[in-house]
A and B are shown apart, each in its own frame.
Chain A
């Protein structure tokens, strides 16, 4: 992408055009700061964390921020899903350390508030003050394109929703070993292109596999062929799944 733009800029007559090929991932890996936009912080389903002292957070913090003083950060983040976007702000002398720590904890999306709390106030962002009640960090992923919610999936597996069917895209061997959900047919991912005629066009089709990777691929294949499909992005061993299994 960056090369296409750079080539265009060159054609437009710019004399000094360079490309940072390594890009944003390398920049973050080098423990250099990256920032989120105000819009993303407010609307992006983020975990926003104020790493300053509790007293400072009580005196004034960004609207919706969790107060987690820097020394408590690792503990508090333990149970937060690693794909949650984390946005941090705090005292200048430790915020880069906090950023490095959180990135090291395995979080994939970590960035800072540009200018910290002061920068936010100056940019007239919304703030709040007073006692802090939300101490446990809660984060729920918003469903992505093509994903079915676990609740909807469960309704079909249980037989409550008859307007959809479930396709299990795992291999025959996996099904033979681990069992299969109720109201489900097993069509391994690689057989789907040749077995489309076994699937109904007038019903929704929910695809699952073991983690969601193959289900996503199967979903794309079904959509391409005009089926009303969705996929479950969940490790089916996760307690959240809670669907009855017909054991082999």
Chain B
């Protein structure tokens, strides 16, 4: 059974190498199964959304990768793990971990905060509220999946999930390129 246990981990690393998730440790991690010295050089990283967090079982599960290649990995933690207070289901995090035997142990957890793309600026609630209530020129986009939009969306928002925009590009956006566009989703992580 033991050698088999390594297969998911290796698969996972292959995914990482393909650029689905974090790529920071790709060069170092391909020979994960090999030796301990390699493992200690640099922390291994899982990046993705927390799908479960249990203090009692001292485990975090994290969804990594996208679409069909998405996988849920389980990482243990202990009293030496740092950054645990920020962990909650649904948060986007980066987990640095090390292998102890066959188990992945988290050493540090960081929240992944969204970075603004070049050339765009942030808008805060009061200003957005003013734009909406005064019916100023605005094209407001809800980037979340349609189900989330269906349950609750901002006044006047258009539902354009990220994959739809990637597919249709400007076809789902206004013709006038000077109209202010505001994008939102479910929060900063």
A214 close to chain B: CB less than 8 A: yes
Query: Which chain A residues in 1-57 approach chain B with CB under 8 Å?
Result: 1-10, 12-28, 30, 32-37, 39-40, 44
**Cβ–Cβ contact A3 & B114, under 8 A:** yes
Among B118, B144, B188, the most chain A Cβ lie within 10 Å of the Cβ of: B188
**Cβ–Cβ contact A24 & B120, under 8 A:** no
Interface size class of B (residues with CB under 8 A): 35 or more
B125 close to chain A: CB less than 8 A: yes
Query: Which chain B residues in 86-121 approach chain A with CB under 8 Å?
Result: 89, 102-103, 114-121
B36 close to chain A: CB less than 8 A: no
Stretch at the interface among B27-35, B38-46, B159-167: B159-167
Known contacts A193-B102, A221-B72; is-contact A214 B183 (Cβ 8 Å): no
- Chain B residues near A44 (CB-CB < 8 A): 150-151
- Chain A residues near B118 (CB-CB < 8 A): 7, 10
Contact among A13, A16, A34, A217 for B152, CB-based, below 8 A: A34
**Cβ–Cβ contact A23 & B177, under 8 A:** no
**Cβ–Cβ contact A16 & B181, under 8 A:** yes
Known contacts A22-B187, A217-B51; is-contact A193 B170 (Cβ 8 Å): no
**Cβ–Cβ contact A109 & B185, under 8 A:** no
**Cβ–Cβ contact B144 & A36, under 8 A:** no
Known contacts A189-B59, A190-B58; is-contact A2 B117 (Cβ 8 Å): no
**Cβ–Cβ contact B162 & A5, under 8 A:** yes
Can you list 26 A-B contacts (CB < 8 A)?
A1-B162, A2-B141, A3-B114, A5-B162, A6-B181, A7-B118, A9-B183, A10-B120, A13-B170, A14-B181, A15-B178, A17-B183, A19-B114, A19-B120, A19-B121, A24-B154, A25-B186, A27-B154, A171-B56, A190-B58, A190-B59, A194-B103, A197-B1, A217-B54, A217-B74, A220-B74
